[in-house]
């Protein structure tokens, strides 16, 4: 299993891991409050998990007993290894999950409230440049997720630390596609 950090601990490429990011893992009240999980590219290869492992899998991004946490502009490719891309559990009041691209659902295990907006949860691996190495930038010819939403104030830049265009629509996911990138 690998973890490839590119820009410190907030924005990274994460490849072939069981659980990529989790806020609030301790079994105590409010292990974590607030914070932002943003601009991550998380990729798993096909068939990493066995059928029995998938049936009991946790999500690759977990928000557990962590009120007011935001999960913004992430790109997650589970390739069928997990049941969920993002899971919230216990008290996540005020949590927000917005502007993400995933290939698996986003859900709250305890059926509690959280804000969910502008997510794509049916992505395909052929939408991305090179999923095997964690490059989940959208391919030039793929229209999905491009220019879909206004930039979120808690994610003004992308994984490459480039400002998302203010006052214009921006892309879902971790990377802001610019034609000059190709």
- pLDDT, tens only, 96-127: 999 999 999 999 977 677 899 999 999 999 99
| 35, 61 Cβ separation under 8 angstroms | no
> Above 70 in pLDDT, residue 79?
yes
- At residue 3 the predicted structure's pLDDT band, cuts being 50, 70 and 90, is very low
77 — phi, psi (to 5°)?
-120, 100
pLDDT, mean over the chain: 87
Question: Which tens digits make up the pLDDT trace of 130-174?
Answer: 999 999 999 999 999 999 999 899 999 999 999 998 888 999 999
Q: Per mean pLDDT, which range of 10-14, 58-62, 108-112, 132-136 is the poorest?
A: 10-14
Helix (H) or strand (E) holding 51: helix 51-55
Task: Residue count of the chain, please give it.
Answer: 182
Q: Domain coordinates of the chain in residue numbers?
A: 4-174
Determine the pLDDT at residue 8. 42
Residue scoring higher pLDDT (128 or 89):
128
* Among 1, 48, 42, 4, CA closest to 21: 42
Determine the pLDDT at residue 11. 52
Cα–Cα distances in Å, from 15 out to 121, 167, 180?
19, 33, 26
Determine the pLDDT at residue 101. 98
What pTM did the predictor assign? 0.90
**Neighbour count for residue 108 (Cβ, 10 Å):** 19
- Please give the average per-residue pLDDT across 49-56, as a whole number: 86
Determine the pLDDT at residue 30. 65
């Amino acid at each position: 299993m690998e973890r490839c950090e590119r820009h410190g601990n907030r924005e990274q490429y994460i490849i072939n891991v069981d659980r990529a990011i989790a806020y609030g893992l301790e079994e105590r009240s409010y292990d974590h409050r607030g914070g932002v999980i943003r601009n991550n590219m998380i990729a798993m290869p096909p068939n990493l998990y066995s059928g029995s492992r998938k049936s009991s899998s946790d999500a690759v991004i977990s928000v557990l007993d962590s009120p007011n946490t935001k999960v913004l502009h992430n790109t997650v490719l589970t390739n069928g290894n997990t049941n969920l891309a993002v899971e919230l559990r216990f008290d996540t009041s005020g949590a927000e999950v917005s502007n993400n691209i995933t290939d698996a659902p986003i859900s709250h295990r305890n059926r509690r409230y959280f804000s969910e907006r502008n997510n794509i949860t049916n992505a395909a691996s052929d939408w991305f440049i090179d999923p095997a190495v964690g490059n989940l930038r959208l391919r030039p010819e793929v229209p999905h997720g491009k220019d879909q939403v206004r930039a979120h104030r808690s994610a003004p830049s992308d994984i490459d630390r480039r400002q998302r265009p203010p006052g214009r629509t921006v892309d879902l996911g971790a990377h802001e596609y610019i034609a000059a990138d190709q």
